[in-house]
Structure 1
Amino acid sequence: MALTQPNQQLRRDLKAIAFNLKQSCVDLGKLAEKLSDADAIALMGLVGTLYEEADQLMGYADEVKNGRITRAAEQKK
């Protein structure tokens, strides 16, 4: 079953946001290398959370692809 245009856009948006989060994690990891041990550990904890959230967004994108999540038609005012 082909995705509607709004659902295609929703899936693209979710995947793009997930990619941006993961890229931010890479950048934060590089920054953590320059910090003291305690600060680096705290930052890496945040990075772990962001990775989990990026994975969750990718899961939502898969659900859009499989038709389990859909974007409702926009209401005209």
Structure 2
Amino acid sequence: MALFLVSRTDRTDYDEHDAIVVRAGDEKTALKIATNGTEERYGVFTYWDADFSGFQRDGSNLAVERLESRGPAGVILKSFRAG
């Protein structure tokens, strides 16, 4: 297992995620975790409720980068975009 940074490649708006760090076996699994969600129905309408708001279901606005586990102690990710 390794750590992966999954970050947005497009502009983020308020109350959206712009990046997450996940533990996964490979980039494909990291992307699958990042694009997870549930399909919801509201009357006749169906919509995708993403676990991470702003992340496209198909991963088209995301980049995945494997992080090195070696290095100095410190913060890996601090991402805040509140509205």
Which one has a larger percent strand, Structure 1 or Structure 2? 2
Which one has a larger percent helix, Structure 1 or Structure 2? 1
Which structure has more relative contact order (CA 8 Å, sep 6+)? It is 1
What TM-score, normalized by structure 2, do the two folds share? Answer: 0.31
